[in-house]
Amino acid sequence: EAGVTQSPTHLIKTRGQQATLRCSPISGHTSVYWYQQALGLGLQFLLWYDEGEERNRGNFPPRFSGRQFPNYSSELNVNALELEDSALYLCASSEVAISPLHFGNGTRLTVT
Amino acid sequence: QKEVEQNSGPLSVPEGAIASLNCTYSDRGSQSFFWYRQYSGKSPELIMSIYSNGDKEDGRFTAQLNKASQYVSLLIRDSQPSDSATYLCAVNGPLPGGSYIPTFGRGTSLIVHP
């Protein structure tokens, strides 16, 4: 069974540009979570999608947005990139609400 | 707001010893508890899940949960250098409105030296 897949692995952008990150959950998982992990910091919750709807978002500005497609894959968009957006962005999926998260390999975003 | 607290370490143990990692959480309504291992530059990998009070063993790993004390721990027996990593504690449970958003601690760095 394929795990959670994320693309691209690395992404380099300049300040002010937009970044798009993609995620495919484990087959059968309908929930997708996005987390940001800045260097030396913990995992900060960004967004939760379930059954195609945004269910919750963390304490991040509106320029962080996303969506979930009918096949449950998801996209995270970051507009007007700032230097402090440089981080590892992790996507995870779960089978049901209290199940553990299974993470993809992450996208390393670098903003210069 | 839910909080999950871990000692950042580093926790240094000799090869073959028992490593004990601890985590406390603030929300008494939490229902599920997880330990993840994260190697530097990599994504978190699930090690253990525990849902009820007591101990749960899987190979060299034992998770312990005490809901009354709001405490969860991970024991690693016969520690190996390959166990050197950051260990993340995660807690999940219903938020107001019914959302389930796992909250992660900042992790404990474990170093197993030969």
Closest CA to B68 of B57, B52, B86: B52
Q: Which of A40-44, A82-86, B39-43 has the lowest mean pLDDT?
A: A40-44
Q: Could you say which residues from 47 to 66 on chain A have a Cβ atom under 8 Å away from some Cβ of chain B?
A: 48, 55-56, 58
Confidence of residue A1 (pLDDT cuts 50, 70, 90): low
Nearest CB neighbour to B43, from listed A55, A97, A104 = A104
**B92 at interface of A, judged by CB pairs closer than 8 A:** yes
Nearest CB neighbour to B99, from listed A55, A100, A104 = A55
Per-residue pLDDT tens digits for A57-70: 999 999 999 999 99
**Is it the case that residue A45 has pLDDT exceeding 70?**
yes
- B103 contacts in chain A (CB < 8 Å): 45
CB contact under 8 A, A41 and B106: yes
Mutate to test the interface with B, among A44, A89, A98, A105 (most CBs of B within 10 A): A98
What is chain B's mean pLDDT, rounded?
A: 94
Closest CA to B98 of B22, B31, B45: B31
**Is it the case that residue B40 has pLDDT exceeding 80?**
yes
DSSP code of B69? T
Confidence of residue A111 (pLDDT cuts 50, 70, 90): very high
A72: left (phi over 0), alpha (psi -120 to 50) or beta: left
Q: Name beta bridge partners: B72.
A: B23, B65
CB contact under 8 A, B46 and A45: no
Contacts 24+ apart (CB under 8 A), A26-29: A26/A1, A26/A2, A26/A93, A26/A95, A26/A102, A27/A1, A27/A2, A28/A95, A29/A72, A29/A93, A29/A94, A29/A95, A29/A102
CB contact under 8 A, B95 and A55: no
CB contact under 8 A, A90 and B43: yes
